[in-house]
Amino acid sequence: MLYLLLLLPLLPALHALREREAGRLASSTAAGALLSLGLALLVQNQAAGPLRLDGVGLFYLLLTDLLFALVALYARAYFQATKDREAWRFYAAGNLFLFAVHGAYLAHNLGLLWIFVEGSTLASALLVYHKGGTRALEATWKYLMLGSVGIALGLIGVILLYALLGGATLDWQEARVLVREANPTQLQLAFAFLLVGFGTKVGLFPLHAWLPDAHSEAPSPASALLSGTLLNVAFYALLRYVALLGSAGLFDFAAGLLQGFGLASLLAAGFFLFVQRDYKRLLAYSSMEHMGLAAYGLGLGVPWLAMLHTLFHSLAKTAAFLSAGNLLLAYQSKLIARVGAVQRVWPATAGLLLLSLLTLAGLPPFGLFYTEFQALFRSSPLSMGLYLLGLLGAFAGLLWPLSRMVFGEGDGMSFETSPRSRTLVVVPAVLVGLSLLLGLFPPVAVVERLAEVLAWKL
Amino acid sequence: MVGRKSLDALIRLYALQSMLLALLAFVLAEGEQHFVLAGMALLLLKGVLIPRYLFWLLERLGVSHEVESYLSIPLSLLLGGVLVGVGFRVGSAFVLEGARLPEAVPVALSLILLGMLSMVSRKKAVTQVLGFLALENGVFLLALAETHGLPLFIELGVALDAFAAVVLAGVLISRIRAIFDHIDTARMRDLKG
């Protein structure tokens, strides 16, 4: 059954090779993703070969399948509006990507996890490239090169760890027992490589260089997938490795690094947000900010908090990128200056953009407010100051350009026509609604239970 | 690798390096079947298929086979030497207890660093791919040196990923050539900040 769940996304991928009509592809893709979602609920806690679906894997798998199904539906309307006759590329690459992500969450083996994470980099490079053009080509090249080097450093970490376990096993559960015998200094070395490797993919400062380019040059539905699902895959790997280090009694070492990288990403993102003139890059830097916050939360030793943060971030960021996609359709420009008066010309999109960005800025009553507050509450006094400074910077950097776009007039604004497909609004609305609901009733108990496998001591 | 001017020589060097690595894997296998299999897969993939693909790509694109670098040859040789020194200096810290081939660890580290140097110092997209491949070989050597080699299905999966990455890079290079009429990544700099 686990193998079925693993291979399920390949069916719509194969379908995309033969079928060119985007409507039918959207249906088969969404159906495939929803089917995997149901199947995942049925097979939790099962094991087969190197695969096992435990709580953390299930959490991220459900989130990914849900987002993927919604984005597939949105993409149908989006590509219709751009009159893109090659939308099948999106569905083919997207389903390959989903296959790699399924593999990563199902793999209960350090090596296999690495293989699927690298696979997700390759598949998502195809998503970024889509149809090409000079800028997309440059972004894809940068992404492929930086991503591959980063993940190769991660592989060094995997190899060192495997050697430290005596070459006996790559299974997570066995590793957590064996790791207690390992040499602590060398374990720290291995973890440094793993953090740099997977951290590159998470987009932690200063390893983030590929992120804003890839996210802004990809077609909007693909950007949504990159921010909402791809970053989580690498973060999930970090969650696992930090837990492993915890079992070896080295959590403090990992915590210092994670808090440092997390705060640095937060502060750097806050700075970059201020100098952006492109609203998709703005959202990309906001992803860097939130992954930094999640890393920080993990460094505080509260895995469920980090998981909850990535959940809220994924929902809100996907909604934000899809709303940004609507802006791109209507104004034909990614420049903030060329977008204005959205609330007058397309009120539904303006509302969704506003709500999703208020969520991302961490305002109550949305979920990110809850997790950010919880993290603040657990911080030490020194990092508390930096943390607040970063949050404040990101808050202003995000909301100031937004208010100009929604309420301002925009200089040289070039409004074309707003496409009137209802899906373009309904999908982000569902996401915003979900994010609001979960923010009002944060599912702490559920996530805590799912995160049990990550308990620092075993 | 860092001092060569001709791309053909670079690709041949890479093929040779991969074959030597495969040979090392055979020697260390001591007759154990799955290591022999991993070695064969490596030989076929990295020693034959990838170099052939790269030659075919250069042929098809009709770009000059000259390596262009940001650095002069003496400077790259000097930097290469420094990096090898660093590899050997810190190498001892990377030797784990029970390492199978401790002498190879500094070599592997140096190879990884040299691969990185070629990636950042070279202008042509193909040479960056070659740098990545050298780095990958360094990682493979590290795995051989530190452990008994990774399990077979992991080894094959890693190799498959590398192969897919090279093919994908090849497709991108063809597109770069078609759009820009060159494969010079130094001249792709639209995206900033």
Cβ-proximal residues to A53 (8 Å cutoff; 6+ apart), any chain = A2, A5, A40, A43, A44, A45, A46, A61, A105, A106
- A120 touches B at CB < 8 Å: no
pLDDT tens for B53-97 read 999 988 888 777 777 777 777 888 888 888 888 888 888 888 877
Mean pLDDT value across chain A? 89
- The DSSP code sequence of B68-94 is -BSS-HHHHHHHHHHHHHHHHHHHHHH
**Confidence grade of residue A416 (pLDDT, cut at 50, 70, 90):** low
Greatest mean pLDDT among A161-165, B93-97, B188-192 lies in A161-165
In chain B, residues with a C-beta closer than 8 Å to the C-beta of A124 are: none
| pLDDT number for residue A458 | 54
**Confidence grade of residue A422 (pLDDT, cut at 50, 70, 90):** confident
Nearest to B147 among A129, A162, A216 (CB): A162
Are B104 and B145 a contacting pair, CB within 8 Å? yes
**More confident: A22 or A222:** A222
Which residues between 110 and 129 in chain B have a beta carbon less than 8 angstroms from any beta carbon of chain A? 112, 116, 119, 125, 128
Give yes or no for residue B169 having a pLDDT over 70.
Answer: yes
By residue count, chain A amounts to 458
Beta bridge partners of A52: A47
Instruction: ipTM value, please give it.
Output: 0.91
Which residues between 71 and 110 in chain A have a beta carbon less than 8 angstroms from any beta carbon of chain B? 109
Q: What is the mean pLDDT of residues A227-235?
A: 94
Q: Cα separations (Å) of B125 from A170, A178, B11?
A: 35, 43, 13
| pLDDT number for residue A432 | 93
| pLDDT number for residue B190 | 73
Q: Cα separations (Å) of A167 from A283, A363, B37, B97, B146?
A: 43, 48, 18, 11, 9
| pLDDT number for residue A264 | 94
| pLDDT number for residue B193 | 60
In chain B, residues with a C-beta closer than 8 Å to the C-beta of A186 are: 96
Give the percent of chain A with pLDDT over 90: 43
Nearest chain B residue (CA) to A154: B139
Cβ-proximal residues to A142 (8 Å cutoff; 6+ apart), any chain = A209, A210, A213, A214, B191
pLDDT tens for A202-221 read 999 888 888 988 888 899 99
- B174 touches A at CB < 8 Å: no
Give yes or no for residue A135 having a pLDDT over 80.
Answer: yes
**Confidence grade of residue A275 (pLDDT, cut at 50, 70, 90):** confident
pLDDT tens for A297-347 read 999 989 999 999 999 999 999 999 999 999 888 888 888 888 887 888 888
| pLDDT number for residue B185 | 76
Nearest to B151 among A111, A142, A212 (CB): A111
| pLDDT number for residue A44 | 84
Are A26 and A76 a contacting pair, CB within 8 Å? yes
| pLDDT number for residue A437 | 92
- B74 touches A at CB < 8 Å: no
Q: CA of B96, closest CA in chain A: separation in Å?
A: 7
Give the percent of chain A with pLDDT over 70: 97
- The DSSP code sequence of A190-214 is HHHHHHHHHHHHHT-TTS-THHHHH
Structure token digits, residue A315: 């929902």
- CA distance linking residue B14 with residue B127, whole number of Å: 11
Nearest to B125 among A50, A135, A141 (CB): A141
Nearest chain A residue (CA) to B174: A137
Burial class (CB in 10 A: 0-12, 13-18, 19+), A42: exposed
Are A196 and A153 a contacting pair, CB within 8 Å? yes
In chain A, residues with a C-beta closer than 8 Å to the C-beta of B142 are: 156, 159
Poorest-confidence range of A93-102, A379-388, B165-174?
A379-388
Structure token digits, residue A289: 């900010």
Structure token digits, residue A283: 């959202």
Poorest-confidence range of A13-17, A398-402, A410-414?
A410-414
Poorest-confidence range of A39-43, A201-205, B17-21, B180-184?
B180-184
pTM: 0.93
Give yes or no for residue A288 having a pLDDT over 90.
Answer: yes
| pLDDT number for residue A418 | 64
* Other CB atoms within 10 A of residue A50 CB: 20
| pLDDT number for residue B177 | 85
Question: Is the CA virtual torsion A156, A97, B47, B122 positive or negative?
Answer: negative
| pLDDT number for residue A410 | 66
Structure token digits, residue A152: 């190769």
Are A223 and A285 a contacting pair, CB within 8 Å? no
Q: CA of B107, closest CA in chain A: separation in Å?
A: 14
Which residue type does B110 have?
S
**Confidence grade of residue A413 (pLDDT, cut at 50, 70, 90):** low
Nearest to B97 among A138, A170, A183 (CB): A183
Which residues between 197 and 226 in chain A have a beta carbon less than 8 angstroms from any beta carbon of chain B? 212-213, 216-217
Please tell me what DSSP assigns to residue A109: B
Cβ contact, residue pair B135, A152, below 8 Å: yes
Give yes or no for residue B2 having a pLDDT over 60.
Answer: no
Q: What φ, ψ does residue A379 adopt, rounded to 5°?
A: -75, 160
